[in-house]
Structure 1
Amino acid sequence: MRDFRDAKAMAQALRESLTHKAVTISHSESLELVSKMLGAADWNTLSAMLQADRRDTVAPAARLKTTTALYPAVPLRDLVPLPNATYPLFVGRESTVRALNQAFDGGQEVVLAIQREAAVDDPRFSDVYEIGILAQLLELVPLEDGTFRVLTRGLRRVALRSFAAESAAYQAEVSDVREGATRDARDLIRRIYQRFQDYAAAHGILVPDLWLFFDQTRDPGQIADTVATRMKLSIRDKYELLATLDPMKRLERIEALLNASQRPVSANYAATKRQALDHADRRRHQYATLEHLLLALIDDAEASAVMRACDADLGGLSQGLVQYLDNELKHTVIEAASAEPTAAFKRVDQRAAFLAQEVGYAAVTGANALVALFAETRSPAARLLAEHGVSRGRADKAIARGVGKGEP
C-alpha cells in the first residue's frame, strides 16, 4: 500500500461487500473499520502515517496544475483545519450548501476558508484569512433540521486570491504555496514528543497511535500539523500555525505553545498545595488525594471565590470532605506519614497550568486547579462538587467574568 487512496479503495470494497449481505454502513464508518484492520486507532492516524510513507515517491494529491484554480468554497466560523486530518462540518448557509453540491456533482475538492470574525453571516474576501486548506469531500449527510453534515479531509495549504458568492455559491480562487525545505529536527521532535505526552495526559487526550507516528516520520511540518490538530488552542493560535509555511518554524511554534503552559504558580495556590499535603500528613495518610486538595481549595481565595459564584455551600462541602477523609481513607494510614500526591493530584496540577494558559492567566491559581479537577469524573471530589452545585460550566462562566484570576 503506497498511499491513503489504497485504504479508501479497501473501505469501498468492504462497504460494497457488506451491502450484498444486507449490512449498510457509511463511507466514514468503512474508513474507520479499515483503519482498525490495519492497526491504527482511527482514519486520521492511518492517513497521516501513510502520507508520511509515500513522501518523495508519489505526487501529492490534488496538486494544482496551473498558477491559480477555482474551487467551491466553505467559510468556517470557529474551526481552523489542518492537513492530514478529518473534520465533520455542520453547514446551513445556502451559499455553502450550493458550493458543496457543486463539489460533489463535479467530483471536486473544496477550499476551506477561515473567517476572521465568526459573527459575519455573508463573508467576502476581506472577511477570510489569506491561507486556507484544500480539502477532500468524503461524505455529505442531510439532517432533519435542513442543515448538512459533511465529512472533509484536509489535503494541503493554499493561498486565497479571491473569495465570493458567485452564482449563489461560495467560490475561491487559490494558488499553491511553497513550504520550506525539510531539515533534520530530531532533537526538537524529541522535546516535543516528551512535552506533548505531558500535555495529552493533563488534558485527557487519548492518542495511542500518535507515538507510533512519531517513530515513523521525521517530517517537522507534518509532525507540527498532527500535534496541532490535537491541541486545545485558540482560533488565533491555530491559524498562526496554519499560516506558518516553514516546517521548522511551525514546529518551533508548537514547542513554544507547549512550553507556554509553564506558568508561574501564584503564592496563594502554592500555599494551597502545601495545605493539601498537610491535610494528608495530619491524618497520617500515605497519599495526598484530590479530596485533600479540594479541602485546601475551599480556603484558597481564588478557588473559593469561584465556588461562591456557583452558590456553593462551602461549609457543607467542607464537612462532606472531612467525613470522607476521616472515614474512607483509614486503609491508607501509615506510621510515619509524608504524603505523596496521587497520580490524579499530579494530573490536576499539570492540567491547571494548561488551563491558566488557555484563559490568559499570568500565574496558575486555585481557580485553575478547581476547573482542572472536573476532568477526574470518578473521584469523590468531583462528585461532592456536583452535589453542591459546582459544575464545570458554571465555574467557566465565573472565570470568564474575571472571578478567581488573582495575582502572580
Structure 2
Amino acid sequence: MRDFRDAKAMAQTLRESLTTKSVTISHSESLELVSRMLGVADWNTLSALLHAERRDPIAPAARLKATTALYPAIPLRDLVPFPNATYPMFVGREKTMHALNQAFEGGREVVVVIQREAAVDDPRFSDVYEIGILAQLLELETLRDGTLRVLTRGLRRVALRSFAAESAAYQAEVAEVGEGVARDARDLIRRIYQRFQDYTAAHGILVPDIWLFFDQTRDAGQIADTVATRMKLPIKDKYELLATLDPTTRLERIEALLDLSQRPVSADYAATKRRALDHADRRRHQYATLEHLLLALTEDANASAVMRACDVDLGKLTQSLVQYLDNELKHRVIETGSAEPTAAFKRVDQRAAFLAQEVGYPEVTGVNALVALFAETRSPAARLLAEHGVSRGRADKAIVRGLG
C-alpha cells in the first residue's frame, strides 16, 4: 500500500463486492472495516498514519526558544486540543481557510488558539487565550457545503505573543514554553487511574487502549494530557488544564475534577433521592430502582418543570410508574431491612454529578439526574419516559430555555 488513497480504493472494492451479495454499507462504514482489517482502530487514525508516512520531506520548522516564530493560525470556538492527540476540526471561516492553505503550502504546521467567547466571529488578540498548541496538519478535505474538515495532531504548547488577520489569513506569533520536570507522582497517577475508570464508565466513554497506556507510561504530563483530552468539561476548565504548565500540578487539578465530592448536591435533589428510597421502603422492596427514582423526580421541582415543558401529563406518568412498581416488582419484597440502590441507580446518580460539572452547575440537581437517566436505555424508566413523550433532545431544549 502506497498511501491513504490505496486504503480508499480497498474500501470501494469491498463495498462493491458486498453490493453484489446484496449487502449494502456506506462509504464511511467500508473505510472503518478496512481500517480494522489492517489492525488500526479507525479510519481517522489509519489515514493520519499513512498520510504522515507519505508526506514529502520538508524543512523542519525552527524550534521556538528565546525568540518567536510566525505561523498560520486556527481559532477554535468549542474545542481545547492537547499535545499528542489527533483531532478532526471543521473550518468555515474564510480567514481560517486561508491560514490552512498557507500551512499546507509551507511546513504543514499551524498554531491552534482557543477563543474566550464562542460568539466572536472575527477574533483578535484580546479574544483568545494566551496558551495555544502547535499542531501538525495531517489531512484536508473539502465538504459539500464548502467548509473544510482538517485532521490535526497536537505537538506542543506555545505562548501567544500576537494574533491577527494578515493578508486575509489568521497568523500567530508564538514562543516556546517549558513545562518543567514532573515530581514523583506515582501515587497520584494510581489514584487518577482508578477514578478515571469510574468516570469513563459513568459517561459511557470507550477508551480501549488507555489502560495499556497507563501501564506503559510514567510521564506525568503526557498522562495528564491524555486524560484531559477525554474528559467532558466546560471550555474554561479544559483551557485551565492546557495552561497549567507544571505536569504534577496538572495531574492534581485533574484529580480534583474527577473527585465527585467537589460538586455539592442541592437540597431539593437530596430530598428527591431520599424520597426514592422511601418509595422502595414503603413497598418493602429489596432495591431502589430507576423507577423509584423517576417517581421521586416527578415531584422534584426542577426535574418536573423540564418534564412539563416536554408536554408530559405528570399525573399519567406517575400512575404508570406506580402500576409498574406495585405489579412488576412485587416479587422483590423483603420482610425486614431498608432498600439498597441498584447499580443503575448509582450510575445515574454518579453521572448526574459529572453532568453538573460539565455544564457548570454549582450543585447537582434533579435536572442532572433526569438527563443522566436517558443513558439507561434498557430500563423501564427510560421506556416510560419515551412513551410519555420525554426524549433527551426535548429535555435539552427545555433546559436551554432556562426551565428546571
The question of a shared fold, defined as TM-score above 0.5 by the shorter chain, is answered with yes
Q: Partner letter of residue 269 of structure 1?
A: Y
**1:285 Cα deviation (Å)?**
3.1
Asked whether 1:170 is paired with 2:170, we answer yes
Q: Do the aligned partners of 1:40 and 1:209 also contact (CA within 8 Å) in 2?
A: no
Within-5 A mapping of 1:213-232: 213-232=213-232
Letter in 2 for 1:95: K
Deviation at 1:182, TM superposition (A): 2.3
* Match in the other structure for 2:141: 141
Aligned residue pairs: how many?
380
CA contact (8 A) 1:285 1:337 kept: no
- Note the 1:123-272 alignment, pairs <5 A: 123-259=123-259, 262-272=262-272
Partner deviation per Cα, 1:113-165 (whole Å, 9 max, x = no partner)? 11222222222223222211111112111111111111111111111222222
Q: Does structure 2 retain, via aligned residues, the 8 Å contact 1:71–1:108?
A: no
Please say which of residues 207-216 and 263-272 is displaced more in the overlay. Answer: 263-272
State whether residues 281 and 339 of structure 1, in contact with CA within 8 Å, keep that contact through their aligned partners in structure 2.
yes
Distance 1:85 1:256, change over 3 A: same
Per mean C-alpha deviation after superposition, the further-off stretch among 88-97 and 392-401 is 392-401
Alpha carbon RMSD of aligned pairs, Å? 3.2
Q: Which AA in structure 2 matches 1:64?
A: R
Q: Where do 5+ consecutive residues of structure 1 fail to align?
A: 1-9, 48-60
The answer on whether the counterparts of 1:35 and 1:43 sit within 8 Å (CA) in structure 2 is: no
Aligned residues of 1:268 and 1:301 also touching (Cα < 8 A): yes
Residues 340/65 of structure 1: CA separation in 2 closer, same or farther (3 Å cut) = closer
Q: How far 1:345 sits from its partner (Å)?
A: 0.5
- Larger displacement relative to structure 2 (145-154 or 281-290): 281-290
Partner of 1:162, secondary structure, is: strand
Per-residue CA distance 1:293-342 (angstroms, 9 max, x = gap): 10111122332233233332110101111222233334434555643222
- Aligned mates of 2:390, 2:116 — CA distance in 1: 34
Distance 2:123 2:7 in 1: 43
After TM superposition, give the deviation of residue 175 of structure 1 in Å. 1.8
For the 8 Å contact 2:260–2:353, the answer to whether it is kept is no
Distance of aligned partners of 1:142 and 1:237 in 2 relative to their CA distance in 1, 3 Å threshold: same
How far apart, in 1, do the equivalents of 2:71 and 2:343 lie?
50
Local SS of the residue matching 1:90: strand
- Whole-Å Cα distance in 1 between the matches of residues 325 and 40 of structure 2? 44
Counterpart in the other structure of 1:368: 368
Measured at CA, do residues 145 and 70 of structure 1 come closer, stay the same or move farther in structure 2, by a change above 3 Å? same
2:121 alignment counterpart: 121
Q: Could you tell me which residue of structure 2 aligns to residue 302 of structure 1?
A: 302
Conserved 8 A contact 1:261-1:354: no
Q: What TM-score, normalized to structure 1?
A: 0.82
The 5 A counterparts of 1:382-401 are 382-400=382-400
Paired letter, 2:301: A
For 1:97 and 1:276, locate their aligned partners in 2 and report how far apart those are by CA, in whole Å. 53
In the alignment, does 2:68 pair up with 1:68? yes
Residue-by-residue CA offset, 1:83-140 (whole Å, 9 max, x unaligned): 1111111111112112212222334211111122222222222322221111111211
Q: Work out the CA distance in 2 between the residues paired with 1:20 and 1:193.
A: 39
SS of alignment partner, residue 311 of structure 1: coil
1:95 is aligned to: 95
The 3-state SS of whatever aligns with 2:188 is helix
> What's the secondary structure of 2:151's corresponding residue?
strand
| Counterparts of 1:112 and 1:33, CA distance in 2 | 31
- Tell whether the 8 Å contact from 1:184 to 1:218 is kept in structure 2 after alignment: no
Counterpart CA distance in 2 for 1:22 and 1:356 is 44
Residue 58 of structure 1 is matched in structure 2 by none
Higher alpha-carbon deviation: 121-130 or 290-299:
121-130
Q: 1:393 to 1:79 in 2, by over 3 A?
A: same
Question: Shift in Å at residue 211 of structure 1?
Answer: 1.6
> Is the Cα–Cα contact under 8 Å of residues 111 and 133 in structure 2 kept in the other structure?
yes
* Ranges in structure 2 where 5+ consecutive residues have no aligned partner: 16-26, 49-59
Give the residue type in structure 2 aligned to 1:123. Answer: P
Q: 1:281 to 1:65 in 2, by over 3 A?
A: closer
Distance 2:263 2:205 in 1: 21
What amino acid sits opposite 2:264 in the alignment? P
Distance 2:370 2:163 in 1: 44
User: How far apart are the structure 1 equivalents of 2:89 and 2:235?
Assistant: 16
2:24 counterpart residue number = none
Checking the alignment, whether the CA contact within 8 Å between 2:234 and 2:360 is kept in structure 1 is: no
Contact 2:64/2:176 (<8 A) preserved: no
Calculate the TM-score normalised by the size of structure 2: 0.83
Is the 8 Å Cα contact of residues 36 and 42 (structure 1) preserved in structure 2?
no
1:344 and 1:376 in contact (8 A); partners too: yes
How far apart in 2 are the matches of 1:196 and 1:62?
36
Give the equivalent residue in structure 1 for 2:319.
Answer: 319
Judged with a 3 Å threshold, the aligned counterparts in structure 2 of structure 1 residues 36 and 164 are, in CA distance, closer, same or farther, namely farther
Q: Distance in 2 between matches of 1:373 and 1:244?
A: 34
* Counterpart for residue 350 of structure 2: 350
User: 2:291: which partner in 1?
Assistant: 291
Partner of 1:381: 381
Moved more, 363-372 or 212-221: 363-372
Does the 8 A contact of 1:73 with 1:112 survive in 2?
A: yes
Letter in 2 for 1:109: E
